Amino acid sequence: MLKQKGFTLIELIVVIVILGILAATALPKFVDLTGDAQKAAVQGFTGAINGGDSINFSTYLARRTVSDLSVATAGVQDTTGGCTLAVANTLLSQAMPSGYAVTGSTTGTPAGTVNACTLTHTASTQSAPFNITVAK
């Protein structure tokens, strides 16, 4: 009778599984997800600013009087400054971390004017667009 030499199928599968587990644990050390994280942070901030802007302008529309559209309304944030970091922070109700810049138009009147803005993470140059609607 001939003696067979080699590995059994189960031994080969066990080795492949062990190599797969080792690769899965070592992979995060070699993959840099910093750019994706910074892009997600910028998009998160712009989404929050857009949401705050929508709420702010809706409040402005709900509280203004029909007879005098220029009346300043209580509870509405002044966004006549346009695309500035100060206006963006006002709409967020908190200050963004350092390292972000806001650029875009600064048309302050009339109410309802939409300013196209861009938020940029200065260290990575990741950016995303957002809008600020003039209220007050």
pLDDT digit string (tens) for 90-127? 998 888 889 999 999 887 778 888 999 999 999 998 99
Quote the CA–CA distance of 77 and 80 in Å, as a whole number. 9
pLDDT of residue 14: 95
Cα–Cα distance list, 83 to 44, 60, 90 (Å):
17, 18, 12
Share of residues in the chain with pLDDT > 70 (%): 92
Quote the CA–CA distance of 37 and 40 in Å, as a whole number. 5
Q: How many helices (H) and strands (E) does the chain have?
A: 3, 3
Quote the CA–CA distance of 102 and 120 in Å, as a whole number. 6
Mean pLDDT of 74-81: 80
pTM for the full model?
0.73
pLDDT of residue 45: 95
For the chain, give the longest Cα–Cα distance.
106
Q: Are 83 and 113 in contact (CB under 8 A)?
A: no
Quote the CA–CA distance of 120 and 45 in Å, as a whole number. 10
